[in-house]
Amino acid sequence: MEPPSGIALTAIMVCLTVITGVVDAVTFLTLGQVFSAMQTGNLLFLGFGVAGQGGLPVLATAVSLGAFVLGAALGARWESGLAAREQSWFPAGLFTEAALLAVAGAVAWGMDPVPGLPPGRRYAVIGLMALAMGMRNVTAMRSASPDLTTTVATRTMTALVSGSVLGHDKRLGYGGHTVVRRLLSVGALFAGGLLGAELLGLGTRPALVILLVAVFLAGTAAVVPALVRCEHHAGG
């Protein structure tokens, strides 16, 4: 099953972008200055840490990077395999991500704050969340939704400005209908980070935040088949 298209796909990808912000808020603010989705930041952090500057963690960052790469590799093999057999790769990818996040939340449960976790459990939580985000990136890239990568915003921000009245670049979308989608993408990532930080600031257990994200993600995956069916009926 291919993902839905049009407004339905845009709405799903915006929701996934919000989830990214929440997930990275948990990992960065409670697991020790490490990202699970934004691996560009982790590459820099790893370089800073190896150089011994800034007091940044090396092992935690390396765990996240390694798990992300593994998630991308596994996600690509599995989803492409499902697609080759004409099976539902898009919701399957989202359900798998939700399951990995649920396991991460379960591993982190009972210890508050999360930095108080024994090192082994903390690295397990980091690894599981990065594994999920690696698979997510495959799912997002395979869906080929313009300007909605769900985990990074730099290119979208550049396209937003360059294709606006400020940049006036027709090759980057000026005069088209891309502004709203790009604004949604950038705004969703900010909103997710804000939401995650606010929930943690209110005293919500990090493990509970992770589990809530997993439940929301599973719910999003569950509605995908219905959206696709509605599109087929409308098209027919």
CATH number at residue 51: 1.20.1250
What are the two backbone dihedrals, phi and then psi, of residue 173, each rounded to the nearest 5 degrees? 110, 0
Assigned domain for 234 exists = no
* 35, amino acid identity: F
Q: Per residue in 69-113, pLDDT tens?
A: 999 999 999 999 999 998 889 999 999 999 999 999 999 987 666
Assigned domain for 55 exists = yes
pTM for the model:
0.91
d(CA 31, CA 207): 11
Predicted local distance difference test score (pLDDT) of residue 190: 95
The average pLDDT across 38-45 equals 93
Assigned domain for 230 exists = no
Assigned domain for 89 exists = yes
Distances (CA, A) of 210 to 34, 107, 120: 16, 11, 18
Assigned domain for 1 exists = no
Assigned domain for 96 exists = yes
d(CA 215, CA 196): 15
| Number of C-beta neighbours around residue 76 at 10 A | 17
Q: Structurally, how many domains does the chain consist of?
A: 1
Assigned domain for 231 exists = no
Predicted local distance difference test score (pLDDT) of residue 193: 95
Structural domain containing residue 82: 6-224
* 128, amino acid identity: L
Assigned domain for 235 exists = no
**Residue 4 carries which DSSP code?**
P
**Residue 2 carries which DSSP code?**
P
